[in-house]
Amino acid sequence: MPTIRDVAKHAGVSPITVSRVINNDNYVSAETRRRVEEAIAELDYIPNALGPSLRSKRTGTLALVLSDITNPFWTTVARGVEDTANKRGYHIIMGNTDESPAKQEEYLIFLLKKQVDGFLLVPASSRSMDTLRKRHVPFVVLDRRIPDAQLDTVRGDSEGGAYELTRHLLELGHERIAVISGPQHVSTASDRVDGYLRALEEAGLAGQQQVYWGEYTQQSGSDLVKHALLAKPRPTAIFATNNFIAIGVMRALREAGLRVPEDMSVVAFDDLPMAITIDPFFTVADQPAYEMGQQATELLLSRLAGDAPEGFQEIVLPTLVIVRRSSGPPPES
């Protein structure tokens, strides 16, 4: 990672002059300011917001950059991260990106200025990982599968869990199953659709697939299921690829006057915690969210301590299908 001395040498000035430019000191000529700013841009230098006294020291902080902290799944992951980090004397700074690459990049630059020791992140784009690699900052990817990338990753088995959920519906007698998914470019969404398609193909129903791509939000789930209900023939079961989509699906089904599971079965990826629903209802593929945060943090801290296994690690955690009242046999008519 370039230092203030590197910038000074590149611009042909002293380090104190670079510091004055960074701090918008008026005692710098326009020409000198221009040279220093060009050097900063060319070297991709990020000023240290904590001051020079910390340059060679650990700060005891880790960054946790998630996609949507309002989702209970990510809240539980965050708790696993925090508990594990605190036991080792580390503190967590957290950011929420809403799947926006621009917002994630802003967070990365801000957190790099804070000189965090490492990152745990759900990447909204490959650029975020390039930013960290370029600066040799240790990081672990959460939840996402990054094809052909040499990265430390901890994720759930999205494809396998979706396959088992779809098999559950097939065993109940459903042949027309619609999947309401998140964004196609997000690996968890595409993997869950792949698991659904594999189960249909094995059952000889590949030609009856119904896939609706959208966002991991309640509104997207509600909007897309309305399209699914217009299909002819109409599906008898809905597979929602995350818990927020499932809530939106239920809202739209109620508005349409359809009962669950009597008129339409619903299954979902990711469970809702007992704090939100006193009476668990959804049949789900449950990911071990707390363990995901725990294992990712342990892996990152091992990297920082220099005692992690050689080579990059991909840890895939199994999912558990929990059958509840939202799924039943298809209606007779």
Task: Return the pLDDT at 279.
Answer: 56
Low-confidence ranges of the chain (pLDDT < 70): 1, 25-26, 48-57, 273-280, 333
Task: Return the pLDDT at 54.
Answer: 43
**Could you tell me which residues are beta bridge partners of residue 285?**
269, 321
Asked if 317 and 291 touch (Cβ cutoff 8 Å), the reply is yes
Domain residue spans in the chain?
A: 4-45, 55-156+289-317, 158-286
> What CATH number belongs to 158-286?
3.40.50.2300
Beta-carbon count within 10 A of 226 CB: 15
Helices (H) and strands (E) in the chain, counts: 11, 12
* Closest C-alpha to 267, from 136, 189, 160, 161: 161
pTM for the full predicted model: 0.80
Asked if 317 and 287 touch (Cβ cutoff 8 Å), the reply is yes
In CATH terms, the fold of domain 4-45 is 434 Repressor (Amino-terminal Domain) (1.10.260)
With the CA atoms of 244, 186, 121 and 276 taken in that order, what torsion angle do they form, in degrees rounded to the nearest 10? 10
Class of domain 55-156+289-317: alpha beta
CATH fold match for the domains 4-45 and 158-286: no
Sign of CA dihedral 90, 95, 99, 104: negative
Phi and psi (nearest 5°) for 81? -65, -50
- Could you tell me the two tokens for 152? 């430390």
With the CA atoms of 151, 154, 156 and 158 taken in that order, what torsion angle do they form, in degrees rounded to the nearest 10? -10
Task: Say if strands 283-286 and 320-322 run parallel, antiparallel, or are unpaired.
Answer: antiparallel
Task: Return the pLDDT at 14.
Answer: 82
Task: Return the pLDDT at 321.
Answer: 96
Asked if 178 and 205 touch (Cβ cutoff 8 Å), the reply is no
Kindly list the distances between the CA atom of residue 51 and the CA atoms of 57, 86, 106, 107, 114, in Å, as whole numbers in the listed order.
11, 24, 20, 19, 9
Strand order in the sheet with 139-142: 91-96, 61-66, 118-121, 139-142, 153-156, 314-317
Task: Return the pLDDT at 7.
Answer: 84
- Could you tell me the two tokens for 178? 């619609």
Task: Return the pLDDT at 273.
Answer: 67
Question: Which residue do the tokens 């989702």 mark?
Answer: 71
